[in-house]
Structure 1
Amino acid sequence: MSGPAPLGPLAARIVVGLLIAIGLSVVIGAVALWPSQEKADIPLPFQNATGGAVTTEAGHVRSSGAADCGSPSTGAVLTAPPIAAPAGGGECVQSLVAIDSGPNEGANTLLEFSGGPGQPHLAVGDNIRISRQVDQNGSTTYSFYDFERTWPLVALATVFAVVVVAVARWRGLRAMIGIVVAFAVLVVFLLPALRDGAPAVPVSLVAAAVILYAVIYLAHGVSLRTSAALLGTLASLLLAAVLSWAAIELAHLTGLSEDQNNEVAAYMGNVSITGLLLAGFIIGSLGVLNDVTVTQASTAFELAEHGASRTAVFVGAMRVGRDHIASTVYTLVLAYAGSALPLLLLFSVANRSLGDVLTSESVAIEVARSAVGGIALALSVPLTTGIAAVLATPSGGPAAPADSRHTPT
Structure 2
Amino acid sequence: MASRGGARRAPRHSASGHTHGHGHAHGHGHGVGLDSPPVPTWARFGLIGVIVLATLGALLGTVLLWPDGDATPRGGLDGIVASAPGVTYPHATVTDVGRDALAAEVDEGTDRGSTVRVQVPPEVAASGLTVGDRVELVRVPAQAGGETSWSYNNTDRDAVLLWLVVLFAVVVLVVARLRGLMAMVGLAVAGVVIWRFTLPALLDGENGLAVAVVTATLIMVVVLYTTHGFSLRTSAALVGTLLGVAATAGIALFWAGQARLTGVSDESGGLLVSAAGDLDFRGLLACAFVVAGLGVLNDVTITQASAVWELRAASSQMSRRQLWRGAMRIGRDHIASTIYTIAFAYAGSSLVVLMLLSLYDRPLLDLVSSEQLAEEVVRTLTSSIGLVLAVPLTTAVAVGLVGGPRRDRLE
Q: TM-score, normalised by structure 2?
A: 0.83
Change in CA separation of 1:193 and 1:120 when aligned onto 2, cut-off 3 Å: farther
Contact 1:178 1:218 in 2 (8 A): yes
**Distance in 2 between residues matched to 1:158 and 1:348, nearest whole Å:** 38
Select the residue among 171, 174, 179 that pairs with 1:166.
174
Q: Which moved more, 1:130-139 or 1:295-304?
A: 130-139
Contact 1:8 1:392 in 2 (8 A): no
**Distance in 2 between residues matched to 1:371 and 1:231, nearest whole Å:** 22
Query: Given the alignment of the two structures, is residue 99 of structure 1 paired with residue 103 of structure 2, yes or no?
Result: no
The residue identity in structure 1 corresponding to 2:92 is: G
Query: Given the alignment of the two structures, is residue 381 of structure 1 paired with residue 388 of structure 2, yes or no?
Result: no
Contact 1:3 1:394 in 2 (8 A): no
Could you tell me which residue of structure 1 aligns to residue 11 of structure 2?
Answer: none
Select the residue among 75, 83, 89 that pairs with 1:41.
75
| Structure number with larger C-alpha Rg | 2
Could you tell me which residue of structure 2 aligns to residue 198 of structure 1?
Answer: 206
Gaps of 5+ in 1: 67-92, 399-409
Change in CA separation of 1:243 and 1:336 when aligned onto 2, cut-off 3 Å: same
Could you tell me which residue of structure 1 aligns to residue 55 of structure 2?
Answer: 23
What aligned pairs does 1:265-284 form with structure 2 within 5 A after superposition? 265-284=273-292
Q: Secondary structure at the match of 2:89?
A: strand
Contact 2:103 2:116 in 1 (8 A): yes
Could you tell me which residue of structure 2 aligns to residue 404 of structure 1?
Answer: none
Contact 2:251 2:382 in 1 (8 A): yes
**Distance in 2 between residues matched to 1:170 and 1:64, nearest whole Å:** 46
CA drift at 1:198: 0.7
Q: Which moved more, 1:237-246 or 1:28-37?
A: 28-37
Query: Given the alignment of the two structures, is residue 354 of structure 1 paired with residue 364 of structure 2, yes or no?
Result: yes
Query: Given the alignment of the two structures, is residue 392 of structure 1 paired with residue 399 of structure 2, yes or no?
Result: no
The residue identity in structure 2 corresponding to 1:45 is: I
Could you tell me which residue of structure 2 aligns to residue 62 of structure 1?
Answer: 95
Query: Given the alignment of the two structures, is residue 364 of structure 1 paired with residue 374 of structure 2, yes or no?
Result: yes
Identity of aligned residues (%): 38
Contact 1:253 1:274 in 2 (8 A): yes
CA drift at 1:3: 6.2
Could you tell me which residue of structure 2 aligns to residue 250 of structure 1?
Answer: 258
Change in CA separation of 1:130 and 1:2 when aligned onto 2, cut-off 3 Å: closer
Cα deviation digits, residues 208-259 of structure 1 (max 9, x gap): 1101111111111111111000000001100000000011111111122222
**Distance in 2 between residues matched to 1:128 and 1:158, nearest whole Å:** 22
CA drift at 1:338: 1.6
CA drift at 1:322: 0.7
CA drift at 1:136: 5.8
Change in CA separation of 1:384 and 1:95 when aligned onto 2, cut-off 3 Å: same
**Distance in 1 between residues matched to 2:356 and 2:66, nearest whole Å:** 42
Q: Secondary structure at the match of 1:55?
A: coil
Cα deviation digits, residues 327-380 of structure 1 (max 9, x gap): 000111111112222122122221110110112121111111111111111111
CA drift at 1:302: 1.5
Change in CA separation of 1:137 and 1:315 when aligned onto 2, cut-off 3 Å: same
RMSD over equivalenced CA pairs, Å: 2.5
Runs of 4+ in 1 over 4 A off after TM superposition: 1-7, 115-122, 135-140, 394-398
Whichever structure has more helix as a proportion of its residues is 2
Change in CA separation of 1:32 and 1:94 when aligned onto 2, cut-off 3 Å: closer
Q: Secondary structure at the match of 2:151?
A: strand
CA drift at 1:112: 2.7
Aligned length: 369
Q: Secondary structure at the match of 2:109?
A: coil
Contact 2:244 2:297 in 1 (8 A): yes
**Distance in 1 between residues matched to 2:48 and 2:268, nearest whole Å:** 42
Change in CA separation of 1:379 and 1:8 when aligned onto 2, cut-off 3 Å: farther
Change in CA separation of 1:366 and 1:2 when aligned onto 2, cut-off 3 Å: same
The residue identity in structure 2 corresponding to 1:287 is: G
Could you tell me which residue of structure 2 aligns to residue 229 of structure 1?
Answer: 237
The residue identity in structure 2 corresponding to 1:57 is: P
Could you tell me which residue of structure 2 aligns to residue 406 of structure 1?
Answer: none
Q: Which moved more, 1:301-310 or 1:164-173?
A: 301-310
CA drift at 1:311: 3.0
Gaps of 5+ in 2: 1-32
Could you tell me which residue of structure 2 aligns to residue 125 of structure 1?
Answer: 132
Cα deviation digits, residues 62-108 of structure 1 (max 9, x gap): 12347xxxxxxxxxxxxxxxxxxxxxxxxxx4422111223322221
What aligned pairs does 1:262-341 form with structure 2 within 5 A after superposition? 262-308=270-316, 309=318, 310-341=320-351
Contact 2:37 2:404 in 1 (8 A): no
Change in CA separation of 1:131 and 1:394 when aligned onto 2, cut-off 3 Å: farther
Contact 2:39 2:402 in 1 (8 A): no
Q: Secondary structure at the match of 1:56?
A: coil
Q: Secondary structure at the match of 2:264?
A: coil
Could you tell me which residue of structure 2 aligns to residue 90 of structure 1?
Answer: none
Change in CA separation of 1:259 and 1:14 when aligned onto 2, cut-off 3 Å: same
**Distance in 2 between residues matched to 1:353 and 1:303, nearest whole Å:** 49
Q: Which moved more, 1:289-298 or 1:267-276?
A: 267-276
Q: TM-score, normalised by structure 1?
A: 0.84
Contact 1:190 1:207 in 2 (8 A): yes
Contact 2:105 2:114 in 1 (8 A): yes
